[in-house]
Structure 1
Amino acid sequence: MSNVSINNFKLLNIKCQKYFDLFSKTNAFNQPVRDTKLQQRFGFYLYILESLCNEKDIDKISDYITDTEYNAYLTGNRYDDNGIDAFFIDEENKEIKLFNFKFREKFKSDQKQSYNEAFVSTKLVNCIMNDSTVGLDGKLRSYVHSVNEMLNGNDVWKLSLYMVSNEAVPIEHDESAIQQLKSFYDMEVISVCLPHIASMMSIRPAPINAELIIDNDALMSYSESSISTSKSYVIRLNTADVIRMTCRNADLRLDHNCENIDQLAEEKIDFGVLFDNVRGLVQRSRYNAAIAKTLREEPGKFFMYNNGLTIVADDIKAHPVNGNRKVRISLTGVQVLNGGQTLRTLHDFNAADKSHITEFLSKSEILVRIFNASSSETANKIAEYTNSQNSISSVDLKSLSTLQIQLEQLLDAHDIIYSRKNGDTGMDDKKEYRYKISMEQFGQILFALQGYPEKSSNQKQHIFGKYYDEIFDEKNFNFSQAPEITERYFDIKKAYASSTDSIQKIEQKIFYILYMHQVRSDLSYEQCINTLEEVLETFDSAGVSLTDARKMIQVRFRDYLNAILYSEYQP
């Protein structure tokens, strides 16, 4: 049986509707989408792709979607999707992600994903394997052409098929049909359905409390000063206790003297403990497999091989017990800030076999750091500075900074979603938001306004890295102007949307228009758009054929534009 309910199904529909509504506010469908279930289905695509592709720009996400019906409504062009509803090329991790979506309109607790959908998708996979685009049209043809070029290159690429649905029961990973696909096409088949999706949805959980009994020789306390009453702890903890203190059973979490650990074999992770974790849902990885291998083969050495967990709590109380031989620790408001992958893998390992809790988990230990962090700013800094076990983007780390949280609050007051994490649909579920902008987009906007429109795109990866302190410094960025700056961005998007079809519409141009209008506020957005097109046309590319996108990342192009803007030029 599934561990999700109809309420999870309903909450997902609400979130999908929000994604569709947000997208519709800045994008016009060629054919109006009036059916509510169809709106939710299209919103489902947008939400899932944001979460699994780590891309918060909703317009870019829309470009990934190859579904026949979606594109027919959006553009008026109807091309066969060949069983692949979305396509994403992850150049950083060298992974080609194919998506097959199934959106059910009604909830059934025993409804299982069908592996037949995976075989429907093989028509497109065959085109990739045969290095062919025959019979393909539209976006799909372009994507397959790009993929074939990559596969013919020197880099090693991983091919993954994501079977995504809002059904309650996933495909069994070891089903013979799925194994056949994996073997024949050298393709990973990954099931994502309602239980996975429910764990991704950002719903602020009720405080999670837990109790532990720790031997004195397995505990070290720490305080910031000798007179401080607030203490934090570093402990050596049995991994069965980790399962207990992070499970969904509130009574078991408080049962520090749990004598029958067999009952933990049935317990699932309470994803509320990961609400503030910097990393979203992570699919299978080599790192996770290594954890399971160590637990099974060398449980006694798990403590040495694993980096452990970092936990914060709103309150920590410690009392000596058993004649001062042990310490009883009571935790209020537990959050796992670092080691989320380890925690999920421990629970997955526990769920894989009922004997694992007694045979392996009870025989292994893990390092756990527990910090008293009643201040949210302290918790945010702990999360930022301790997340280095696996590579985490600078954007994700900075999403926990006080400034970024304050920006979220400021823009929320102006009915704008400031997306710090994948899946954000606003701080207030009841509010009607006008726009959604991601941290990355906002950073690009500021970079352009500060005089570097050419870097907004090609230096995007450094905006929250080496350029962050400069871009977000109060000398260069007036915090209170964030709502007005965001409004300008969307006003320019609207101006581009209503411009002639002959003008290529790419986001780089919006960053340039923001910059141009700041330099020449006497020019309207429409005049700036036309001027930029003229400058792109007359720019001397030194005899080399360059696309507009390639021209705009050159400092020489920016300087050429500046010479015109700072002259007495009038359109």
Structure 2
Amino acid sequence: MAGLNTFKNLNVKCERYYNLLTKTIPFKKTISEDRIIDKRRIGFYLFILESFGRGKDIVDLSQCIIDSDFNDIVYGIGHDDLGIDAVLFDDESQEINLFNFKYRERFSANSSQGINDSFISSKYFNAIETENLIGVQGKVRDSLEKVIDALNSNNIWKITYYSVSNETNKIRLKDPHIDRLRAIYDLEVKSISLDYIADMMSLRPEPICASILFDSSSIMPYVEHELSSSKSYIVRMKASELIRITSKDSVLRDDYNIEDISPLSSTELDYGVLFDNVRGFVLNSKYNTNIKKTLSDSPSKLFMYNNGITMVAKEIHSEGINGNRKQKMRINDFQVLNGGQTLRTIHDFNKESEKNISDVLSECEVLVRIFSSSGDDNTINKIAEFTNSQNSISTADLKSLSSEQIDIENYLANFDILYSRKSGDIGGSDKNYSYQITMEKFGQLLLAIKKGEPDKSSNHKQYIFSKYYDELFIDNFDISESLDVVNKYRYSVSAYYNRPDTVFMEQKVYYLVYMMSKYPSCDINLLIDILEDEITAFREDDKSLSDARKMIQVRFREGLESSLKLKVISE
């Protein structure tokens, strides 16, 4: 159970997100020093949304926040948010995520999310259902129009409503009022409270170690070559043993000869073992449901139906005992690189009933591969990349482990710039970064600058870390240019936010950095004027398109290039 220390750690993390935002966007209003709660609340929005935003950076996430108070402080314009604080669209998965946030100033062990918090959002849901947007303005209206267009399309969109707070206890999702909300709006309702947030906040853990006892018939050693002194192992492990060695209780992790397994029914997963897992923190997925169904209906089939788990340990010590009938193994500083969803689901299933540990989990087995890394971080990254590449996982997550991405992270750190390769990464508490940029955003900027195709930066994201990857990050890539890419982005964002007469859009920034690269000596405000004029004038087959639709047209980019040649030269 998360307690006061978790609450305090969250406060610190939220303040760091707030500080990063102030270094990225010039706020229209200043928050007084005695209103620390307002700073934490703003940081809380960003922290939670980054876990769902699939590589969106702080600028993108701030555009997804429709909360009236947030927009009043940051942008100087706060419209009625109709009870929804943020709307995140995932176009690839066709998911719409709606968020209602509550951030409490003081900790209480007995505090719970209130049912009424969800019904504050009913105005937003009513607007979706009736499609009546009279009086709705700004970002709130934009988000509703996009939701309504998605639901009216032929594509199947999933809507999930998240009730999020820093309170200790969740909202009661089985409440009849919540059931009514599900029935009316055909949406899924999920609750995020302090316990869940505690796991999301996991920093790089202290080394996690465990001891295990196997029947010799359940273990197969593997050596990379004959002269190697480092052994890896492929083993059949009982699910109950997997629970034990990944629990938060270090005493249980060392009790390899445990006789009474009943204490395992109440143990918690140490999320530190998943720190290097490329999937990040997943609230739920269809795979979790399938694994749980196998455990419930056919536990003996888990070994055959499941791909298993891949671990890597800095040290593995194994010795034969009882006349080599048994193998005692000690794994030091280990991480689960693949199979994190399997591990989480087994722990969740364990919590559902005290009998599950003895009746089910002690009777089924999982395939576990335990590799020795001998402290070689590159080996760890390669194992994680290649074992996960066989599963349904984004190419960006896979590439986050590649050596060139780690090199960019290390290079930019020299200039106090945090290069976030994974969601939720805001650096260690010992370093005060002046700026943050995500790996995905950096790739989008390279597509605009290096490939010269800003029209593809927003709608070809899925190709940046696949078919465009070598061209952008490897072929003729000069790491010393990374700082210039980030600075162009910072300068472009700041320039747009300092012009109250223009509307900021993510796609405009890709065009602006592209224009700055082609005409580095040209005044940035002139470039913005040219871009805005081109957006206003552009039409497609005598039809008026939205600004976002205009900027993904190749003909728009070609027309802009012609205007640039004429207007920049004339200036």
TM-score by length of 1: 0.93
Q: Where in structure 2 are the equivalents of 1:269-284 lying within 5 Å? A: 269-284=269-284
Match of residue 403 from structure 1: 404
Match of residue 465 from structure 1: 466
- Verify: 1:94 aligned to 2:106, yes or no: no
Distance in 1 of aligned mates of 2:83 and 2:420: 31
Match of residue 189 from structure 1: 189
Residue identity matched to 1:222: Y
Distance in 2 of aligned mates of 1:509 and 1:142: 17
Match of residue 518 from structure 1: 517
SS at match of 1:314: strand
Distance in 2 of aligned mates of 1:524 and 1:184: 53
Residue identity matched to 1:85: D
- Verify: 1:14 aligned to 2:15, yes or no: no
Match of residue 30 from structure 2: 32
Compute the displacement of 1:104 (Å): 0.7
SS at match of 1:278: coil
Unaligned runs of 5+ in 1: none
Compute the displacement of 1:444 (Å): 1.6
Distance in 1 of aligned mates of 2:333 and 2:491: 42
Q: Is the 8 A contact 1:97 1:162 kept in 2?
A: yes
Residue identity matched to 2:20: L
Compute the displacement of 1:389 (Å): 6.2
Quick one: structure 1 residues 167 and 390, their matched pair in 2 at CA, closer, same or farther if it must change by over 3 Å? Answer: farther
SS at match of 1:11: helix
> Could you give the per-residue CA deviations for residues 331-385 of structure 1, whole angstroms, max 9, x where no partner exists?
0111011111111111111111111100111111011111112211111111111
Distance in 1 of aligned mates of 2:431 and 2:552: 38
SS at match of 2:291: helix
Q: In terms of mean alpha carbon deviation, does 363-372 or 239-248 score higher?
A: 363-372
Quick one: structure 1 residues 449 and 268, their matched pair in 2 at CA, closer, same or farther if it must change by over 3 Å? Answer: same
Q: In terms of mean alpha carbon deviation, does 151-160 or 412-421 score higher?
A: 151-160
Quick one: structure 1 residues 468 and 112, their matched pair in 2 at CA, closer, same or farther if it must change by over 3 Å? Answer: same
Distance in 1 of aligned mates of 2:179 and 2:532: 52
Q: Percent identity of the aligned residues?
A: 46
Compute the displacement of 1:184 (Å): 4.3
Q: Where in structure 2 are the equivalents of 1:545-564 lying within 5 Å? A: 545-563=544-562
Distance in 2 of aligned mates of 1:301 and 1:88: 38
Residue identity matched to 1:399: S
Q: Is the 8 A contact 1:519 1:565 kept in 2?
A: no
Residue identity matched to 1:439: M
Q: Is the 8 A contact 1:83 1:124 kept in 2?
A: yes
- Verify: 1:528 aligned to 2:493, yes or no: no
> Could you give the per-residue CA deviations for residues 520-564 of structure 1, whole angstroms, max 9, x where no partner exists?
333232333334345556668564544444444344444444456
Match of residue 267 from structure 1: 267
Quick one: structure 1 residues 19 and 542, their matched pair in 2 at CA, closer, same or farther if it must change by over 3 Å? Answer: same
Q: In terms of mean alpha carbon deviation, does 535-544 or 264-273 score higher?
A: 535-544
Q: Where in structure 2 are the equivalents of 1:351-362 lying within 5 Å? A: 351-362=351-362
Distance in 2 of aligned mates of 1:186 and 1:535: 41
Distance in 1 of aligned mates of 2:356 and 2:544: 62
Q: Is the 8 A contact 2:492 2:512 kept in 1?
A: yes
Residue identity matched to 2:288: N
> Could you give the per-residue CA deviations for residues 476-501 of structure 1, whole angstroms, max 9, x where no partner exists?
x2112212321222122222233361
> Could you give the per-residue CA deviations for residues 110-139 of structure 1, whole angstroms, max 9, x where no partner exists?
222222322332332233233333453332
Distance in 1 of aligned mates of 2:303 and 2:184: 39
Match of residue 43 from structure 1: 43
Distance in 2 of aligned mates of 1:531 and 1:228: 63
> Could you give the per-residue CA deviations for residues 195-244 of structure 1, whole angstroms, max 9, x where no partner exists?
11111114111000011111122111111111111111111100000000
Distance in 2 of aligned mates of 1:173 and 1:500: 43
Quick one: structure 1 residues 521 and 152, their matched pair in 2 at CA, closer, same or farther if it must change by over 3 Å? Answer: closer
Q: Is the 8 A contact 2:419 2:439 kept in 1?
A: yes
Quick one: structure 1 residues 549 and 120, their matched pair in 2 at CA, closer, same or farther if it must change by over 3 Å? Answer: closer
Distance in 2 of aligned mates of 1:546 and 1:170: 44
Unaligned runs of 5+ in 2: none
Match of residue 123 from structure 1: 123
Compute the displacement of 1:312 (Å): 0.7
Residue identity matched to 2:386: Y
> Could you give the per-residue CA deviations for residues 498-529 of structure 1, whole angstroms, max 9, x where no partner exists?
3361x443233332332333333332323333
Q: Output the aligned Cα RMSD.
A: 2.2
Distance in 1 of aligned mates of 2:232 and 2:160: 43
Distance in 2 of aligned mates of 1:559 and 1:132: 38
- Verify: 1:300 aligned to 2:300, yes or no: yes
Match of residue 249 from structure 1: 249
SS at match of 2:370: strand
Q: In terms of mean alpha carbon deviation, does 156-165 or 444-453 score higher?
A: 444-453
Residue identity matched to 1:422: S
Q: In terms of mean alpha carbon deviation, does 489-498 or 258-267 score higher?
A: 489-498
Q: Where in structure 2 are the equivalents of 1:131-146 lying within 5 Å? A: 131-134=131-134, 136-146=136-146
Distance in 2 of aligned mates of 1:563 and 1:292: 58
Q: Is the 8 A contact 1:202 1:424 kept in 2?
A: no
Q: Is the 8 A contact 1:307 1:389 kept in 2?
A: no
